[in-house]
Amino acid sequence: MRLLHLEDSSADAQLVATWLSRERPGCVVWRVTTRQEFVAALQTDEFEAVLVNCSAVGFGGLAALELVHQYSAGKACIVLAGSIGEDKLAELMRHGADDYVHKSRLARLVPAIEQALWLSNSPERRGQPDEALRKMEARIREQAALLDKAQDAIVVQNLAGAITYWNKGAQQIYGWSAEEATGGDMVTLVSLDPGRHRFAREHTLARGEWRGELRHRTRDGKEVVVQSRWTLVREGEGPPTAFLVINTDVTDNRVLEAKFLRAQRLESMGMLVGGIAHDLNNVLAPILMSVELLRTMGPTPEAEKLIHTMHRSVKHGSALVQQLLAFARGAEGQHVALDLQPLLIEFVEFMTQTLASTIKLDLSFGCQPLPVLADTTQLKQVLMNLCINARDAMPTGGTITITVDGAEIDAAQAHLLPEGQPGSYVVIAVADTGTGIPPKVMERIFDPFFTTKETGHGTGLGLSTVRGIVKGHGGFMTVESEAKRGTTFRIYLPVHVVTAETAAPSAAAAGPTILLVDDEEMVRNALVLLLKSEGYQVQAMETGASAWALLQAGREQIDLLVTDLKLADMDGFELITKVQARFPQLPVIALTGLPLTDAEGDEKLPGLRILAKPMTRPALMKAVEDALATMV
């Protein structure tokens, strides 16, 4: 495609040229800026269509259209403008403009040009039919040669899915020659995900175009990832006749993105160094001071208090170190069934320590989050990148809100969501009250290496990394933004459905299953090891809310509840009361670090089994056996 572009704005000309080169590789744009250059170019007849800036300096859209009619009658002509009134637009169309495209909606540009070219070759506009036909045939031969030189796979399928055109780029990517591929079915030949291929087809039929990634195979069985662009082909204003599909091999890009994950994590860690250093100093200071004082003191009550302070500080420092290592360790871990609630609570506590005091971070759950199949480190990296971007969008402060909810996406809704698929999802929304994302920037936010930050202050990999991780988890993302009102990213992760193949072994094949709830990690780990050594299966939870959610889900048999009476998120008596009301046959053992006289168990829940910490192994085992013996 050869175009003549009248445009005196370098920025607008570059934007149009970039868009055309992306949508139509090999497109040649001849830009002119003055009336003299425009007239000289019109007289050469070395172009197929004219793009006219409606407000070019020196002469406006009507004057330019008159020049096109004078020197290149019948040529396709598209008017580009920022905004224009209906009367002005009607006048331009009367003077020969084939179409009008708003400069902020360049997605219409290529379809508008193609439609205008079709109209320019209609019998009504051809002054010399034989000459026009000769030129058209020459252009078709030239375009066919250019298509064979393209590195992308360019494929045409009829509405039934049969391949009718297969260029040399397709042969290079997939291995089949045009003779072998023509007439075959695209799904049968190359697709590794027929469902997504059908979605692309249906979306194109409904919307006219579709873009997304597809997994394909080559003739020798190798898997390739392609960036696929589908366009519906019509004969004039008639019904659709075929699909034009352009596939770009991005397999190497995905490998490169994996290598950049490490660099992105390092960038995120660098942004957190200031906050982490502050916290570590606060952790180390009481330890050092306490050690110095202990050197001059004997085993007195004061010494015991200092030792206790040291213990708490060391535990806090250990937690910070573990969190830091979780971000730096890498992303090669396997996807496992994950409870989002404790992960998000831990993340928010960690992130709050690193943000400025002018930024508030909120977490809320619209419902009890269902489990997802995910990698903890990668999911934390997604949240970290989104929160850091939100922070940068609020230089004077604001609020970041993380909300969790569920969503059922049907086929009709999936059509409206980019890369969406029908199914059950957990939706994590990260919203800020920042400056928002301009429309021109919104189109490129997921492009690798694209950044609006100053040189040296960003790699441009943050959101592309986030999108890659989410897609790797079988999910997708949406983004909404409004100037000065903030931005909301929504992450859709498929709900993990426990099946017979993925469920844990039946309790009948092992000992009874005990649900253990204790917010002290060292106590919890010790109890888990002790109970497992006696042959019991153990589900360990840190919070009362997560234990209650597990019981309500009913995905596995729980034979005994063992819970501490002082939990971080709720009173242990509250949890036990809820459990006994809903599951009256489930035996319960309560643990307490308070003296039994202070536990008030008999007053609140008469007959409740209570063990004081620390308990001996025989005492614990006897309490467990007695409790299990009461089951009906």
Among all chains, which residue has been given the structure tokens 């042959």? 535
pLDDT averaged over every residue in the chain: 77
Among all chains, which residue has been given the structure tokens 């199914």? 423
Domain spans of the chain, in order of start: 2-130, 150-249, 256-494, 507-629
Specify whether the CB–CB gap between 294 and 324 falls below 8 A.
no
- CA–CA separation, 338 vs 321, rounded Å? 22
**Distances from the Cα of 10 to the Cαs of 7, 109, 142, in angstroms?**
7, 18, 30
Residue 194 burial (10 A CB sphere; 0-12, 13-18, 19+): exposed
Out of 72-76, 142-146, 562-566, least confident range: 142-146
**pLDDT tier for residue 143 given thresholds of 50, 70 and 90:** low
Which of 89, 94, 97 has its CA nearest to residue 113? 97
- CA–CA separation, 333 vs 469, rounded Å? 12
Paired tokens of 390 = 């939100």
Give the per-residue pLDDT at 341: 86
- CA–CA separation, 502 vs 524, rounded Å? 26
**pLDDT tier for residue 230 given thresholds of 50, 70 and 90:** very high
CATH superfamily of 150-249: PAS domain (3.30.450.20)
Give the per-residue pLDDT at 60: 66
Residue 607 has pLDDT above 70, yes or no: yes
Report the predicted TM-score, pTM, of the whole model to 2 decimal places.
0.35
- Please give the average per-residue pLDDT across 215-236, as a whole number: 88
Give the per-residue pLDDT at 333: 47
Output the CATH code of domain 256-494.
3.30.565.10
Half-sphere exposure (Cβ direction) of 493: Cα atoms closer than 13 Å: 30
- Please give the average per-residue pLDDT across 319-348, as a whole number: 63
**pLDDT tier for residue 240 given thresholds of 50, 70 and 90:** confident
Question: How many contiguous H segments (helices) and E segments (strands) does the chain have?
Answer: 23, 22
Same fold across 2-130 and 507-629: yes
The helix or strand, by DSSP H or E, that contains position 176, with its residue range, turns out to be: none
Per-residue pLDDT tens for 491-502? 999 988 655 444
Output the CATH code of domain 507-629.
3.40.50.2300
Give the per-residue pLDDT at 343: 86
Per-residue pLDDT tens for 86-133? 667 777 777 778 888 888 788 888 888 888 887 776 554 444 444 544
Give the per-residue pLDDT at 283: 59
Residue 436 in 3-state DSSP?
Answer: coil
Give the per-residue pLDDT at 128: 43
Out of 349-358, 402-411, 425-434, least confident range: 349-358
Residue 319 has pLDDT above 70, yes or no: no
Give the per-residue pLDDT at 250: 86
Per-residue pLDDT tens for 281-306? 555 545 655 555 565 566 677 767 76
Residue 138 has pLDDT above 60, yes or no: no
Among all chains, which residue has been given the structure tokens 């930050």? 453
Other beta carbons less than 10 A from residue 80's beta carbon: 25
CATH superfamily of 2-130: Response regulator (3.40.50.2300)
Q: Is the peptide bond before 448 cis (omega within 30 degrees of 0)?
A: no
Out of 211-220, 227-236, 382-391, least confident range: 227-236
- CA–CA separation, 401 vs 367, rounded Å? 16
Per-residue pLDDT tens for 543-595? 888 889 888 887 778 999 999 888 888 888 889 999 988 898 899 999 887 65
- Please give the average per-residue pLDDT across 168-175, as a whole number: 91
Residue 429 has pLDDT above 90, yes or no: yes
Percent of the chain surpassing pLDDT 70? 73
Other beta carbons less than 10 A from residue 615's beta carbon: 14
Residue 597 has pLDDT above 90, yes or no: no
Give the per-residue pLDDT at 366: 82
Buried b (16+ CB within 10 A) or exposed e, 130-164: eebeeeeeeeeeeeeeebeebebbbbbbeeeeebe
**pLDDT tier for residue 522 given thresholds of 50, 70 and 90:** confident
Supply the DSSP symbol for 335: P
- Please give the average per-residue pLDDT across 391-410, as a whole number: 91
Give the per-residue pLDDT at 403: 93
Strands (DSSP E) contained in 433-485 are 476-482
The better pLDDT of the pair 599, 359 is held by 359
**pLDDT tier for residue 57 given thresholds of 50, 70 and 90:** low
Give the per-residue pLDDT at 127: 44
Residue 596 has pLDDT above 60, yes or no: no
Give the per-residue pLDDT at 425: 92
